[in-house]
Structure formats: C-alpha cells, structure tokens
Amino acid sequence: MDPSPRTTLPEQAGLPSRTDPSRRALRGGRVPGRGSALIEFALVLPLLIILVLATIDFGHLIQARLIITNVAREGGSIASRQTAIDSSLTGMLAASGRALALAGPDGRIFITRIKAGALADAPLPAITAQIATGTLGVSPKIAAGRPDLGLTHAVHDHLVFNSTNGTADISEVTAVEVYYKYRSITPLPYLVPGLLRSHGDGVIIASKAVF
C-alpha cells in the first residue's frame, strides 16, 4: 500500500481550474451577466418613467373631466328651472368647479336659453339668451347659425312648431357648456412630443348638458 498522499487536481474535483475564465471573473469581483442586466435596466427605465408620469397625468385629466361633466349636468338642471338666466347662475356654476378655476383663463361656461317656435309663420326655435363666464378662447357649440342651433336633430325637432298640435312638443330648453384647458402637471409632453398638447400648451376638454 502506497503511503504517499494522492494529489487531486481541481478539474478532477469538479472545481474550476486556475485558467478557467469564470474563476478569474469571480476572483476579480465581477459577476457574469451583470453587465447585460444593467443594459436591460437602462433600456426599460425610460419606459417605466413614462408609464408613471402618464398614470399621474391621465389620472388628473380624468378627474378634471368628471368635474366639468358634473358642473354641466347639475348646472343644466338648475338653469332649466330658472325663469331667467343671469351672471349669478354662471358664478354659482364656476364656484361648484372651483378646483379648476373655471371663471379664469383656463375655463369657460356658457348658459343658453332656447325658445321653441310659437307660430306657423315662425316655426323654428331661437336663442333668446346666452351668458358666459371665464376667459378661455373658445366659442359655444350652441349658437345661431349652426345646424339645428348646435342641438341634436331630435331635440331641435321637438322645438319646431307643430301646426297639427298648434304648439311645439317642448316649450324651451336650457343648455350648459363647460370648457376647461388641462395643462400637464408632469414633464410627460416633453418625453412624448405632442401628447396633451393639442391646443398649444394643453388640451381642451368639454362637456354639454341640455335640459
């Protein structure tokens, strides 16, 4: 029996040899694949940033949309019960949407009263009053000169004098239009050119209700 110790090579023990590249990488403190992981992260990071900014911006945009929709709907309901429309009514509607400052440069509210045709000689409805607040540069969709005064064809037809009945189906309607210019609160439009910039430095959203 040979009493001398036997020498086992690293390759025989399943260990990397001194010339193995992976051993040299581990000795130098470098982890294989780390560089490719950093490259992948660098490629994905911009997309993650855009996703986060878009979530914030579009969340605020949806909130603004809900506000102006409620202002138009409730305003139309209230205005339709008033015998006359005046600046106090537009002021009340602007106050109900004070989170958006609708009476300022980024908002505009129109209230329009339309009377039905009352005679066979004048069967078509006509706008009898229109008031506004806010200074945003937009025009009302409900206006003289527009087809059907800007109303839907069905509503307009109900306001036309009916010679058979001797009156129109509806005596009058009141329309409320609310406009708001939303400006991005994040740098998203700079990262995605043109996004949320359809009207200069923002995007105009609108809502209309007819009662």
At 93-111, the pLDDT tens digits run 999 998 999 999 999 999 9
Q: How far is CA 44 from the centre of its chain?
A: 26
φ/ψ region of 63 (left if φ > 0, alpha if ψ in -120 to 50, else beta) reads alpha
- φ/ψ of 205, rounded to 5, equals -115, 150
Residue 29 has pLDDT above 70, yes or no: no
What percentage of the chain reaches a pLDDT higher than 70?
84
- φ/ψ of 152, rounded to 5, equals -70, 155
Q: Give the integer Cα–Cα distance in Å for 110 and 179.
A: 9
pTM: 0.80
Is 182:60 a contact under the CB 8 Å cutoff? Answer: yes
Specify the residue for token string 């409620």: 70
